[in-house]
């Protein structure tokens, strides 16, 4: 009788340790999501700031400046619910403004244009990477939260369900080609 009680207690302790480890893993994944979202927000803000700075620098033609400035301003000022749409609009505006390699060359030839173009190129290259890291972390947390043990024992606590950040983040080909 005592041996059975010890084995039952050992099994309960092992199950408790396993559930505790799983809850800790889920907590670390949620912390990773928070960190990757902060990095994504920083890269999106950097891209919008560089685009806005370039739009107001006077090196673009007036129509391109207005399109780029309005898209960058909308991306910076958007509410969380509209953020993905505003960032996609900025990506489309960047592709429209820098659709032609001649436009990229014209910006580079202007005073300070080389530095501005380089900074914008780096910003548009980093956004897809930051978004991919964030969405990978979200996917890992979603997969773990889908397990029955996590749902049955409510190991996620009150953490909100992680949401991926879906946007059009394709960089302007002419801008990226000229930088290479």
Cα separations in angstroms, 167 against 40, 79, 180: 12, 15, 24
Alpha-carbon distance of 37 to 30, in angstroms, equals: 10
Q: What is the average pLDDT score of the chain?
A: 93
As a whole number, mean pLDDT of residues 85-106 equals 93
What's the CA gap between 33 and 28, in Å, rounded? 9
> Which residue's entry shows tokens 């302007």?
172
**pLDDT tens digits along 130-154:** 999 999 999 999 999 999 999 999 9
pLDDT, residue 59, reads: 86
Token readout for 76 is: 């910076």
* H/E stretch holding 64: helix 62-77
Percent of the chain topping pLDDT 90: 79
CA distance 100 to 120: 16
User: 43-64 pLDDT, tens per residue?
Assistant: 999 999 999 999 998 888 899 9
Quick one: tokens of 6?
Answer: 């010890």
- Model's pTM, two decimal places? 0.91
Q: Which of 84, 101, 110 has the alpha carbon at shortest distance from 169?
A: 84
For residue 20, pLDDT beyond 80: yes
């Amino acid at each position: 009788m005592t041996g059975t009680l010890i084995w039952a207690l050992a099994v309960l302790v092992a199950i408790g340790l396993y559930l505790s480890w799983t809850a800790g893993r889920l907590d670390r994944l949620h912390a990773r999501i928070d960190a990757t979202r902060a990095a994504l927000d920083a890269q999106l803000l950097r891209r919008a700031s560089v685009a806005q700075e370039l739009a107001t620098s006077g090196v673009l033609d007036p129509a391109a400046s207005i399109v780029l400035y309005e898209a960058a301003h909308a991306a910076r000022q958007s509410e969380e619910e509209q953020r993905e749409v505003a960032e996609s609009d900025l990506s489309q505006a960047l592709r429209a403004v820098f659709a032609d390699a001649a436009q990229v060359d014209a910006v580079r030839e202007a005073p300070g244009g080389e530095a501005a173009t380089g900074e914008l190129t780096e910003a548009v290259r980093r956004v897809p990477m930051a978004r991919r890291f964030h969405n990978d972390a979200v996917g890992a947390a979603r997969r773990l939260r889908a397990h029955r043990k996590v749902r049955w024992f409510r190991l996620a606590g009150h953490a909100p369900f992680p949401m991926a950040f879906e946007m059009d983040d394709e960089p302007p080909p002419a801008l990226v080609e000229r930088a290479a």
